[in-house]
């Protein structure tokens, strides 16, 4: 169910982007574009593209809410932190080194770099 709603949501998003990009600029945003015809009116007539944009936007919001409800219902209500046993950590050292050995280089140049494992 969640996958179906997610696919519909993605299709709506892409379609909404396409419809918005196909619309003619109203020229109200930054004072650029070709709308108005010289007279500033309070509201222009709703075009078919405007109506389609509204329908797609409402459907997009509905699928967003549906995905949120589905995700909340599917969650177990517990925290990830409470989820399970902590993993056991084994202390391993690279070949030739003793676990817990000092990894700083020796201060004495004559001292070997790898401590003797014996």
Q: Quick check: is 34 in a domain?
A: no
Residue 31 has pLDDT above 60, yes or no: no
Q: Could you tell me where the beta strands, DSSP code E, fall in 1-118?
A: none
**pTM as predicted:** 0.53
> Quick one: tokens of 17?
């982007």
Q: Give Dmax over CA atoms of the chain in angstroms.
A: 94
Which residue range forms the structural domain that includes residue 21?
Answer: 2-25+47-74
Domain count, the chain: 1
Q: Cβ distance 115 to 97 under 8 Å?
A: yes
In a domain, 33, yes or no: no
Q: What pLDDT, in 10s, does the model give residues 81-99?
A: 666 666 666 666 566 666 6
Sign for the CA dihedral angle at 39, 41, 45, 48 comes to positive
Please, what is the average pLDDT of the chain?
75
């Amino acid at each position: 169910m969640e996958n179906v709603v997610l696919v519909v949501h993605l299709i709506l998003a892409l379609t909404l982007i396409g419809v918005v990009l196909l619309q003619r600029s109203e020229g109200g945003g930054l004072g650029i574009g070709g709308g108005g015809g010289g007279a500033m009116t309070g509201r222009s007539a709703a075009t078919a593209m405007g109506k389609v944009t509204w329908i797609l936007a409402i459907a997009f919001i509905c699928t967003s809410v549906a995905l949120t409800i589905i995700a909340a219902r599917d969650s177990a209500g517990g925290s990830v932190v409470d989820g399970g046993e902590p993993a056991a950590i084994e202390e391993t050292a690279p070949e030739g080194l003793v676990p817990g050995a000092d990894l700083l280089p020796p201060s004495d140049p004559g001292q070997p770099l790898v401590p003797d494992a014996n």
